[in-house]
Chains A and B, each alone.
Chain A
Amino acid sequence: MIRLEKRPQPSRALSLSTPIMAVLATFVFGGLLFAVLGKDPVEALQTIFWQPLFGEYAFYYRPQLLIKGAPLVLIAIGLSLGFKAGIWNIGAEGQYIMGAIFGAAVGLAFYPAEGWYIFPLMVFAGALGGWAWAMIPAFLKVRFGTNEILVSLMLVYVAEQFLASMSLGLLKNPEGYGFPGSRNLQQYMPAHNAELFAGSGMHWGVVAALIAVIFAYVLLAKHRLGFAIRVTGEAPRAARFSGVNPARLVLFCLGTSGLLAGLAGMFEVSGPSGQITIDFNVGYGFTAIIVAFLGRLHPIGILLAGGLMALTYIGGDIAQSNLGLPAAAIQVFQGMLLFFLLALDVLTHYRLRIGAAEAA
C-alpha cells in the first residue's frame, strides 16, 4: 500500500525539481500518445519544443513567443497576488477586454492628432479600465460579502457584450465600409505599441511584464503588503491578529490584478492585434490562471511558465499544420503538463510511504 505522509516542512529541493520532473513525465506520456496516434513521438516533441526556438523558421516564431507570453505573464502576476491571499479573481479576461476598450477609446479619441502624450494616456486609461472592472467584484465582496469568483466570472460575459457593442457602435471605424471593428491603431503612429526593435517581438507589453515580475518579487519578499498577502493565504486568523485589514487586502489584490490585466489588454489592442473587434479576446485571461498555478504563484516561476505555455501553443500550432496532429491531441498534451505539475506538487508537502499501513 502506498500512503502519503505530511512532511514536517515543505521540501525545498523538490519544489524546485518537480516542474522538471513534470515536463519529463509529459514527454514520456505525450510521446506515447503521439505514437498511438501513428506519429513519430520524437519528431512530434521536437516540433513542439525545438522548432519554435531553434528550427528553420525560428526567426518568425521567437518574436511570437514574446507576443503570446507577455500578456500571459502580466495577467498571471496580478492574479497570483490575489491567489496567494485566497482572493480568487477569475475574471481577468473581462478586465483584459475593458483595459483594451478604455485604452483604444482614448487613442481613437485623439485621432488623427499627433503627440507624444497620446500613448502614455492610453496606458493610463487601459490600466484604469481593468482596475475599475475588477473593483466591481471587490466592492461587492467587501460591502455585501458576495463571492468574488462568481461576480468576476460573470463580468467577463458582460465585458464581452460590451466589446461587441463597441466594435459595432461607438468605436466602429467610420471608414471601414460598414465592417465591425475599430480603426487599426497600427496605422496611427502616436497610438501604436510598436516593436521596440524591429522583428524582435519586443513591445511595451513585454517590458511591462518584466517590470511586473520584478515588482511582484520585491513586494512578496520585502514589503509588508506582500507579507500580509502571504500570511492571509496561509492563516487568515493569524493575519487579522497581526493587524491585516482583510477588506483593504481584497481591494488591493483585485484592483492590482485588474490593473495588470487591463494593461495587458491595452498593449495587445494597440500592438499585435491593432484593433477592437468582436473576437478581440482569445482567452489570455483564463489561460493566465493556469500560468499562475504552473508558476507556483511565484513571480519567477510565472515568468518561466508563461514562456512554456506560449511555447506549447506555438509549437502545437506548428505540429498541427506540419504533422497533421489533431488539435485535441495538442490540448490533451497541454493538459498532461498541467496535470503532472499539480500531481507531483503533492510530493513537496507529503512523502510517499510504501509498505504496511500505520496511523500516526
Chain B
Amino acid sequence: MTDYLLDLSGVTKAYPGVVANDDVSLRIAPGEVHALLGENGAGKSTLVKMIYGLVKPDAGQMQMHGQSYAPADPHAARQAGVGMVFQHFSLFDALSVAENIALGMENPPKMRELSQQIRDVSDTYGLPLSPDRIVGDLSAGERQRVEIIRCLLQEPKLLIMDEPTSVLTPQEVEILFKTLRKLSAEGTAILYISHKLEEIRSLCDSATILRLGKVVGHCTPRETSARDMAEMMVGSALKTPTRESKEPGKVVLTLDKLSARSDSAFGMPLREISVEVRCGEVLGIGGVAGNGQDELLNALSGETLVSPGMLTFDGRDIGLFGPTARRALGVLTAPEERLGHAAVPDMSLTENAMLTGAAREGLERGGMLDWAKARSFAEKIIEAFDVRTPGPGNAARSLSGGNLQKFVIGREVLQRPELLVVNQPTWGVDASAAAAIRQALLDLASGGTAVIVISQDLDELMEISDNFAALNEGRLSPPRPAQGLTVEEIGLMMGGAHGMEVADV
C-alpha cells in the first residue's frame, strides 16, 4: 500500500449542475508512466487540477508516500514534488528562455547560474534548448521544452503532462518520449493525459479510463488495442468515417505563389504557396502549430487580401475579395480559434448564426436582419449537428469547446459551400463528435465540394485526406497522395525535428 507514490481514493468534485469527478480512485507507483484517458468533459482536467492544488476535492482521500496530501495551492503541490506541463503554454514571447523560467520560480538563482542549470538539464534529458533564445522565435515543440525544463528544475517526483504531443512533429514526439522514459527510469512518475491512443500504447505502463467523471476501467495499454480503449472511453462502438470513392473533379481553387505577411508580430508570413484543389477533393494540410496555419486560413477567408493572380477560385481572381464577397461565391471557412474568431463569446447562438450565414441563408434583406430566420437557422444547426445546448438563445461562451466546434463547423457545412476550409476541425472535441465532424466533411466532398482541412492531428488527416501537404515556416510542401505515406515521410515534409542540430540523443 505504502509503496505507491500517489494514492487517490474516492475523490469527488461537483460543480453546479455537473459532477466532474465521482468517487475516483487512482494509484501511481514511483517511476510509473500512467495514462489518464477520457473524452472531453470526462473529468481528466478536474482530477489533475486537484492533484496540482488548483481545485479542492469535495470528498475523498489523497495520499502521497502514505501521508495525507491536500495541497492548498500549486505552490504547495510543487513543494510536495508535483510538476505540471499545461497544454497551453504560459510564456512571454518577448523574454528569453532563462528569463521565462526565472519568472516562474520561487527563488530564482542568478541568471548565469540558471542558464547553466538549464543547459545541464537540457543535456541530461536530451531536450535541445538554448537559454538565451527569445521565446517568440521558438517553435511550439521548443516552447514545450521550456515548460518541461521549468518543471524538471524542481526535481519533481510526479510530472503531469496535459496533451503534450498535440503541437509536435512525429520526430519531436520521439524526443519527448525518450526524455519521459529516461525520467521514468530514474524513478519519476508521470501522469500522462492524452487522447492519442497509439502514443499511450507505446509509452505508458498502465491506464485509467474516465467517462462522465467516473473511472470506467483500467488497462495495460501495451496489451490493449487502440480500438478497445477508444470504445471504453466512449462507452459504445465507434463508427469509422466512410466515403464513397469517386473520380476527382475539375480544379476549382488555384493558389499561385501566394505570399502574405502575417498580421501579428510573432506570426509566420506565407511564402510562395502553390497548390491546386479539385472539386470533391479533401486536401489535408499538416504542420506544427505556428507555421502559417492561421495565416493561410485568413488568406483564404478574405480577412487577409492577397495580390491579384495569387488566388483563383472557379476561374475568378478573388485575391482582393473580402470575406462577404467570397462567401457569396461559396468560399466558406471555419477558423481554429472558436471564441473570438469563429464565434462571438458573449453573443447568442442565433447571433452567431447570423455572423456568417447572413447572405447565403437569406437572413438579411436590404441591410435589415431577419432574426426569426436566423433563429431557425441556428436551430437547424443545433439539430443537424447534435449541439448540446438548452437553445439558440444561449451565449456561445456557455457551450463546451466540442459543442461550440460542432456549431461552428455545422454553420458552414449547412450553407452548402463550394469550397470549405477548416482549421483544426476536431481540436478539443471528443471522439464521437470528432467522428461526426469528419463524416460531415467527407459527405461534403462526396457531394462535390472541395475541402481543405488544416490540422495538427496527423491521424485525422490520414483518415480523411485524398492528398496531403505540410506547412513549414510558411511554405507548403508539394501535395502527395495521402495513401501510402509513412510517418517518416510526413515528418520530413513537416520539417523534421526543430532545433535538432544540437541534440545529443
Binding site for B on A (CB under 8 A): 8-10, 222-225, 227, 230-231, 234-235, 237-238, 240-243, 245, 358-360
Q: How does the 8 Å CB contact mask read for B293-329 relative to A, with 1 for contact and 0 for none?
A: 0000000011100000000000000000011100100
B437 adjacent to chain A (CB < 8 Å): no
Which residues of A lie under 8 Å from residue B303 when comparing CB positions? 240-241
24 of the cross-chain contacts (CB-CB < 8 Å) are: A9-B397, A222-B369, A222-B371, A223-B368, A224-B364, A225-B367, A227-B354, A231-B347, A231-B351, A231-B355, A235-B339, A235-B340, A237-B337, A238-B343, A240-B323, A241-B301, A241-B342, A242-B323, A242-B355, A242-B358, A243-B322, A245-B322, A359-B54, A360-B15
Q: How does the 8 Å CB contact mask read for B448-480 relative to A, with 1 for contact and 0 for none?
A: 000000000000000000000000000000000
CB distance from A354 to the nearest CB of B (A): 15
Assuming the A-B contacts A223-B368, A241-B301, are A234 and B346 also in contact, with contact meaning beta carbons closer than 8 angstroms in the complex? yes
- Residue of A10, A231, A241, A242 with highest tally of chain B CB at under 10 A: A241
Which residues of A lie under 8 Å from residue B395 when comparing CB positions? 8-10
Which residues of A lie under 8 Å from residue B333 when comparing CB positions? 241
**Contact between chains at B344 and A243 (CB < 8 Å):** no
Q: How far is it, in angstroms, between the C-alpha of A9 and the C-alpha of B342 when the chains are bound?
A: 19
Assuming the A-B contacts A238-B355, A241-B335, A245-B322, are A224 and B367 also in contact, with contact meaning beta carbons closer than 8 angstroms in the complex? yes
Which residues of B lie under 8 Å from residue A227 when comparing CB positions? 351, 354, 369
B239 adjacent to chain A (CB < 8 Å): no
Which residues of A lie under 8 Å from residue B346 when comparing CB positions? 10, 234
**Contact between chains at B340 and A224 (CB < 8 Å):** no
Q: How far is it, in angstroms, between the C-alpha of A242 and the C-alpha of B302 when the chains are bound?
A: 10
Q: How does the 8 Å CB contact mask read for B350-370 relative to A, with 1 for contact and 0 for none?
A: 010011101000001001110
CB distance from B256 to the nearest CB of A (A): 24
CB closest residue in chain A, given B359: A243
Q: State the majority secondary structure of interface residues on A.
A: helix
Which residues of A lie under 8 Å from residue B394 when comparing CB positions? 9
B241 adjacent to chain A (CB < 8 Å): no
CB closest residue in chain A, given B301: A241
Which residues of A lie under 8 Å from residue B327 when comparing CB positions? 243
**Contact between chains at A243 and B55 (CB < 8 Å):** no
CB distance from A228 to the nearest CB of B (A): 10
Which residues of B lie under 8 Å from residue A223 when comparing CB positions? 367-369
B87 adjacent to chain A (CB < 8 Å): no
Q: How far is it, in angstroms, between the C-alpha of A185 and the C-alpha of B141 when the chains are bound?
A: 73
Q: Pick from A224, A234, A238, A358: contact of B369, CB below 8 A.
A: A224
CB closest residue in chain B, given A236: B340
Q: Pick from A8, A235, A242: contact of B356, CB below 8 A.
A: A242
Assuming the A-B contacts A223-B369, A231-B355, are A243 and B341 also in contact, with contact meaning beta carbons closer than 8 angstroms in the complex? no
**Contacts A227-B351, A358-B55 known; 16 new A-B pairs at CB < 8 A:** A8-B395, A9-B398, A234-B344, A234-B345, A234-B347, A235-B339, A237-B337, A237-B340, A238-B342, A240-B303, A240-B323, A241-B335, A241-B356, A242-B358, A243-B302, A360-B15
**Contact between chains at A8 and B322 (CB < 8 Å):** no
Query: How many A-B pairs with Cβ below 8 Å?
Result: 76
CB distance from B144 to the nearest CB of A (A): 24
B56 adjacent to chain A (CB < 8 Å): yes
**Contact between chains at B323 and A241 (CB < 8 Å):** yes
CB distance from B15 to the nearest CB of A (A): 7
Q: Pick from A222, A230, A235, A360: contact of B341, CB below 8 A.
A: A235
Q: How far is it, in angstroms, between the C-alpha of A358 and the C-alpha of B53 when the chains are bound?
A: 10
Which residues of A lie under 8 Å from residue B55 when comparing CB positions? 358-360
Q: How far is it, in angstroms, between the C-alpha of A245 and the C-alpha of B345 when the chains are bound?
A: 20
CB distance from A212 to the nearest CB of B (A): 19
CB distance from A324 to the nearest CB of B (A): 48
Q: How far is it, in angstroms, between the C-alpha of A10 and the C-alpha of B54 when the chains are bound?
A: 26
Q: How far is it, in angstroms, between the C-alpha of A227 and the C-alpha of B351 when the chains are bound?
A: 9
Which residues of B lie under 8 Å from residue A231 when comparing CB positions? 344, 347, 351, 355
**Contact between chains at B56 and A358 (CB < 8 Å):** yes
Q: How far is it, in angstroms, between the C-alpha of A86 and the C-alpha of B367 when the chains are bound?
A: 22
Q: How far is it, in angstroms, between the C-alpha of A222 and the C-alpha of B367 when the chains are bound?
A: 8
**Contact between chains at B368 and A222 (CB < 8 Å):** yes
Q: How far is it, in angstroms, between the C-alpha of A231 and the C-alpha of B346 when the chains are bound?
A: 10
By Cβ-Cβ distance, the 9 closest A-B pairs, closest first, are A243-B324, A243-B323, A8-B398, A242-B355, A235-B344, A237-B341, A235-B340, A234-B344, A9-B395
CB distance from B71 to the nearest CB of A (A): 12
CB closest residue in chain B, given A226: B369
Which residues of B lie under 8 Å from residue A242 when comparing CB positions? 323, 355-356, 358
Which residues of A lie under 8 Å from residue B15 when comparing CB positions? 360
Q: How far is it, in angstroms, between the C-alpha of A213 and the C-alpha of B167 when the chains are bound?
A: 51
**Contact between chains at B354 and A235 (CB < 8 Å):** no
Which residues of A lie under 8 Å from residue B368 when comparing CB positions? 222-224
CB distance from B340 to the nearest CB of A (A): 5
CB distance from A121 to the nearest CB of B (A): 29
CB distance from A207 to the nearest CB of B (A): 24
CB distance from A118 to the nearest CB of B (A): 34
Which residues of B lie under 8 Å from residue A359 when comparing CB positions? 54-55, 73
Assuming the A-B contacts A223-B368, A227-B354, A359-B55, are A241 and B398 also in contact, with contact meaning beta carbons closer than 8 angstroms in the complex? no
CB distance from B216 to the nearest CB of A (A): 24
CB closest residue in chain A, given B365: A224
CB closest residue in chain A, given B297: A241
Which residues of B lie under 8 Å from residue A9 when comparing CB positions? 394-395, 397-398
CB distance from A71 to the nearest CB of B (A): 29
Q: How far is it, in angstroms, between the C-alpha of A9 and the C-alpha of B351 when the chains are bound?
A: 14
Q: How far is it, in angstroms, between the C-alpha of A224 and the C-alpha of B324 when the chains are bound?
A: 12
Q: How far is it, in angstroms, between the C-alpha of A227 and the C-alpha of B322 when the chains are bound?
A: 18
Assuming the A-B contacts A237-B340, A238-B340, A358-B56, are A224 and B358 also in contact, with contact meaning beta carbons closer than 8 angstroms in the complex? yes
CB distance from A36 to the nearest CB of B (A): 41
Q: How far is it, in angstroms, between the C-alpha of A9 and the C-alpha of B56 when the chains are bound?
A: 25
Q: How far is it, in angstroms, between the C-alpha of A238 and the C-alpha of B346 when the chains are bound?
A: 12
Q: How far is it, in angstroms, between the C-alpha of A242 and the C-alpha of B342 when the chains are bound?
A: 8
Q: How far is it, in angstroms, between the C-alpha of A360 and the C-alpha of B369 when the chains are bound?
A: 39
Q: How far is it, in angstroms, between the C-alpha of A10 and the C-alpha of B323 when the chains are bound?
A: 30
- Residue of A223, A231, A243, A360 with highest tally of chain B CB at under 10 A: A243
**Contact between chains at A238 and B344 (CB < 8 Å):** yes
CB distance from B284 to the nearest CB of A (A): 22
Q: How far is it, in angstroms, between the C-alpha of A223 and the C-alpha of B364 when the chains are bound?
A: 9
Which residues of B lie under 8 Å from residue A225 when comparing CB positions? 367
Q: How far is it, in angstroms, between the C-alpha of A153 and the C-alpha of B418 when the chains are bound?
A: 48
CB distance from B52 to the nearest CB of A (A): 10
CB distance from A223 to the nearest CB of B (A): 6
Which residues of B lie under 8 Å from residue A8 when comparing CB positions? 395, 397-398
CB distance from A232 to the nearest CB of B (A): 10
Q: How far is it, in angstroms, between the C-alpha of A235 and the C-alpha of B340 when the chains are bound?
A: 5
- Which of chain B's residues 378-395 have a Cβ closer than 8 Å to chain A? 394-395
CB distance from A11 to the nearest CB of B (A): 12
Q: How far is it, in angstroms, between the C-alpha of A242 and the C-alpha of B301 when the chains are bound?
A: 9
CB distance from A347 to the nearest CB of B (A): 16
Which residues of B lie under 8 Å from residue A10 when comparing CB positions? 346, 395
Q: How does the 8 Å CB contact mask read for B193-235 relative to A, with 1 for contact and 0 for none?
A: 0000000000000000000000000000000000000000000
- Residue of A227, A235, A238 with highest tally of chain B CB at under 10 A: A238
